[in-house]
Amino acid sequence: MSQLFIVISSCLTIASRTWVEYSIYQVVNSVLYGVIEVETLTLMMEYTNNKFRMIPNACFQSNIANMVIALIALTTKDWQLFFVFLNFVSTPIIMAFMLFHESPRWLLATGRTNDACNVLNDISNKRWNGTEAVFNSKNLDEIPAEKEVRWPNFYHLFYKPRFAKQSIMQILSM
């Protein structure tokens, strides 16, 4: 859903006539880009085994998107033209994000065991890593889940030393 709202807010940025409209659409756009970047980084780190867990994190530090944005900014002088070219490059990529699987860990946490099985079976397919493991709902039901549903907040990122270290590293890496 964030991807669709990014496309809409980017088009509204191009069509904005005042600096107030421009600022509002850019705030919405930047929040949504942040959400997608964190989702993508988390998903890539979940798909990677422990030995290579920090490689996706390192790839997000200096990515090719920053270089493309700088090149577009250099070649376009008008800010509306800049966003036209930026949307021209980013819209197909944003639409491709919709093809990614949902995180199996998130699906299990939200009680969608069958969907988690489908994602895990696709990941463990021979074309990816050759394991050909087959998961079913009974396998995943044995994983303990929290019975009490509570809404996390910013405090929960830091309330244990381990969480605090991980949260600080994630914040610094972005």
Q: What is the pLDDT of residues 84-126, one digit of tens each?
A: 777 777 778 777 777 777 778 778 877 788 888 888 888 777 7
* Of the candidates 7, 57, 56, 12, the residue with the CA atom closest to the CA atom of residue 32: 7
Please give the average per-residue pLDDT across 127-154, as a whole number. Answer: 74
What is the pLDDT at residue 62? 61
72, 55, 153, 114: CA torsion to nearest 10: 100
Q: Judging by beta carbons within 10 Å of its beta carbon (0-12, 13-18, 19+), is residue 32 exposed, middle or buried?
A: buried
What is the pLDDT at residue 65? 67
Please give the average per-residue pLDDT across 138-154, as a whole number. Answer: 73
Which DSSP helix (H) or strand (E) runs through 139?
helix 137-141
Q: How confident is the model at residue 26 (pLDDT cuts 50, 70, 90)?
A: confident
pLDDT at 12 over 80: yes
Q: Which residues contact 71 (CB under 8 A, 6 or more apart)?
A: none
Q: How far apart are CA 125 and CA 132, in angstroms?
A: 5
* Of the candidates 4, 71, 84, the residue with the CA atom closest to the CA atom of residue 36: 4
What is the pLDDT at residue 86? 74
pLDDT at 134 over 70: yes
